[in-house]
Copies of this chain bind each other. A is one copy, B any other.
């Protein structure tokens, strides 16, 4: 099931399943950002989602779909980011244990958040190999179910519910855009968008400095991210076979942006919209800023992926 390609029925079923647990997040507009960009922008504010990120949708769906007998042994993942917090809270709410493997150098604020949701943390060296090895040990010892942050059909279906709400609220969008890291949000978004409105254009936004999705999409193989370095710390991961295949099918274009535009876009949203978004969320607006002609007078939905920022380490 977990690597089966989900379809829009899965998204709709996920939506019904997770509704009692998630926030129906608002869609915001901004006169001044419309003036600056010449576009007509609709921001789907997943920074107001529980745990401050869309990740809570997928994590909740995955937890609720566990086989009850297996579920009591809990869930496990390796992550230093929003997926860890999301899985920890989804497990807590369902009375299940959560085991999170985190690199020992993860930001203190994230360690506190994950601990606050009652998860058991195992620290590891900050390499992918160490993470996977330690996770394997944790899973073997506890019997917990490994919930991958994006290479998982149930996660992808859950993430697709954000775009579903957006298009339900604003059915006349011309374009919908999401950032791409591992591709869970983008895959789910693209499934909802193309199913609800076949003529809509789905665009992915990616930092130039972590452009593995761009390379994979425009070549014939999965290109891993090599030493990515971007302020958009949620977009460092590479696609999986599952997400790449969905993206190939449904996404019209992947556009990369410069770091300074990401920072400018983030600051614009903070200053003009008075909402806090994390750098990964600013990548979509950065695409609009760098390509104004493409979005001129176009009704464009942007998925704001999250709002978890360390206020002591702002880029401005």
Contact = CB atoms under 8 A, between A and B. Distances in A.
B47 A274 contact: yes
Interface string A255-297: 0000000000001001101111100000000000000000000
Contact of A274 (B31, B307, B312, B316): B307
Nearest to A311: B316
Nearest to A316: B311
A273 B49 CA distance: 10
A48 interface: yes
A26 B273 CA distance: 13
Nearest to A277: B274
B274 A48 contact: yes
A52 interface: yes
A314 interface: yes
Copies of this subunit: 2
Contacts of A307: 274
A290 B311 CA distance: 23
Contacts of A273: 48
Given A311-B314, A311-B316, A52 B274 contact: yes
Interface string A21-34: 00000100001000
Interface string A47-75: 11010100000000000000000000000
A270 B311 contact: yes
A271 B311 contact: yes
Given A274-B52, A275-B275, A276-B276, A267 B316 contact: no
Given A275-B276, A276-B276, A311-B316, 7 more contacts: A26-B26, A48-B273, A274-B275, A274-B277, A275-B275, A312-B316, A314-B314
Interface of A: 26, 31, 47-48, 50, 52, 267, 270-271, 273-277, 307, 311-312, 314, 316
Which 7 pairs from chain A and chain B are nearest by CB?
A274-B307, A274-B276, A47-B274, A275-B275, A311-B316, A270-B276, A48-B274
